[in-house]
Amino acid sequence: MRNVEGGAKQSRFWGETTAFLALFLDNAGVLIFLNAILVFTFNFPVDIILTRMIPGTAIGVLIGDLIYTWLAIRLKRKTGRADVTAMPLGLDTPSTIGIAYAVLGPAYVITRDAQLTWQIGMATLFMIGVVKIFTSFFGGWIQRNIPTAGLLGSIAGIGLMLLGFLPLVEIFNEAVVGMVAMGLIFAALFSRLHLPGRIHGVLAAVIFGTVIHFALGYSGYLPEYQAPSWELQLCLPVFSIDFLQILPQSIHYLPIAIPFGILTIVGGINNTESARLAGDHYHTRDILLTEAFTSLISAFFGGVAQTTPYIGHPAYKKMGATWRYTLATGLAVGIGSVVGLMSLFVSIIPRAVIAPIFIFIGFEIIHQAYKESPPAHSPAVSLSFLPVIASLVMIILGQFLGAMNITKDLLPLRLQHLHQTLTMLSNGFILTGLLWGSMLAFLIDHRAKLAALCAAVCAVLTLFGVIHSIMPTGELYLPWRVASDAHYMLALAYLALSGILLILTGTMDKEKGR
């Protein structure tokens, strides 16, 4: 009996450890990518990233994970279940990358003032927090009325493309490091194998992968290798409202802040639904208000990236995690950032080592989207993926065009049109995927009126750029103030689709009558 109990305790310990490492490294990975984009693409000063942006951003993770830990303990006491898993919270990957490319990078290119750029990032995050607080009150209604295929399908597309394909590119950028890390992490997370000495595969991947990275770098086999600074520096986040003075100067980023805020609220709804289907029923409003509040408060401490409940709750539950892993992650990220450890991790852990964790979580999201949706709705889940693919193409294309200093106007006319089409298809991709998936799910269920309503909503949102914005940055706009007529044509196309679906309503009603 003692052996059985000891084995169960050891299994729980490794489950919590695995979940902690996955969530901690997930957050570290986002910070690593943020740092890499700003430094390598825009030549942003690294000091202000490591000593100001990262500590301020980590405050949101600390507070958010502590609140989610408390919510899990409360649910455990209410249900009497010992297997309650806390909702994972961390930094939102798509919007963090978006803020880097659409706000921080361009602002620094224009101003060449790192301090001002940092404050613009804080102001943008503040606006995102305000948007999220406002929209969080509609979360429960959305969750009750949107089909599972739409809710989970839109985020599964992110799992496939942004958490699957982009990290795969990083693995191949450093193939030796990436393959070693992928083998160890996949063996630990998919097969639950343990290495000799009971060292966990995720921890082994970080250690071995980082050692190989430095060995190859010092030997001259990595062209982008830069020797890190090993000095620890105390980085106390300081509460400040100075950024509010430049809020008028940053207001033109509001059209960017609104979609990013809505994106994570929709993601939070999806994640709450994902947790419910996995057996942990959290109140949607509690989850959404927590992510909104922590994003808002982070801005006052120098943060530039918003927090959000992470996709992949079932993956953490499958690992055997409870509430301890979020508590450990929050403390590790928060305290680690203050003493300089998070900045050190960002400097020394290669992206190829972190990438397999993103891939694992992405696979779990895709699996659940198909599993929890009715089998007949699988085409709706697949349809939700397509706008995310457009977003992925634009992320990669933007890096090439930016590096070559090529604007859209310099492209041949046919490629200009293709670039505009991809831009419209990618902007607002998560809402587009949600509406497309819901529309097809309703149509499959012969609920043509609701499918027509989805198409009509797409038409309205297209007019104002909430989805399919014609602006490269994804800005919102008043339709009559835009020179192009592309948004009018696409809105008309959606209205035509809505009309067709309404016409089909009568046919479907007749078939039901038979």
Report percent pLDDT > 70 for the chain. 92
Other Cβ atoms less than 10 A from the Cβ of 237: the count is 22
Would you place residue 1 in the very low, low, confident or very high pLDDT band (cuts 50, 70, 90)? very low
Summarize the confidence of residues 191-204 as an average pLDDT.
76
CB 294 within 8 A of CB 60: yes
pLDDT at residue 475 above 90? no
If one compares 395 and 499, the residue with the highest pLDDT of the two is: 499
The C-alpha atoms of residue 387 and residue 380 are separated, in whole angstroms, by 13
Phi, psi of 89 (to 5 degrees): -130, 140
The C-alpha atoms of residue 21 and residue 38 are separated, in whole angstroms, by 25
- Residue 407 has a pLDDT of 76
Would you place residue 7 in the very low, low, confident or very high pLDDT band (cuts 50, 70, 90)? very low
Other Cβ atoms less than 10 A from the Cβ of 176: the count is 15
DSSP string, 193-206: ---GGG--HHHHHH
Summarize the confidence of residues 286-309 as an average pLDDT.
93
pLDDT at residue 199 above 80? no
* Closest-CA residue to 265 (of 129, 101, 62, 467): 129
pLDDT at residue 299 above 60? yes
Phi, psi of 407 (to 5 degrees): -95, 165
The C-alpha atoms of residue 305 and residue 89 are separated, in whole angstroms, by 13
- Residue 4 has a pLDDT of 38
Mean pLDDT over all residues of the chain? 85
* Chain segment 23-62, per-residue pLDDT in tens: 888 888 888 878 877 887 678 888 899 889 999 999 999 9
Q: What share of the chain is helix, strand, coil (3-state, %, to 5)?
A: 80, 0, 20
pLDDT at residue 179 above 50? yes
pLDDT at residue 487 above 60? yes
Would you place residue 386 in the very low, low, confident or very high pLDDT band (cuts 50, 70, 90)? very high
pTM of the model: 0.75
- Residue 3 has a pLDDT of 47
Would you place residue 66 in the very low, low, confident or very high pLDDT band (cuts 50, 70, 90)? very high
* Of the candidate ranges 7-11, 225-229, 342-346, 375-379, the one whose mean pLDDT is the lowest: 7-11
If one compares 324 and 341, the residue with the highest pLDDT of the two is: 324
Summarize the confidence of residues 367-396 as an average pLDDT.
89
Burial 475-508 (b: 16+ CB within 10 A, else e): bbbeeeebeeebbeebbeebbebbeebbebbeeb
- Residue 139 has a pLDDT of 62
pLDDT at residue 402 above 80? no
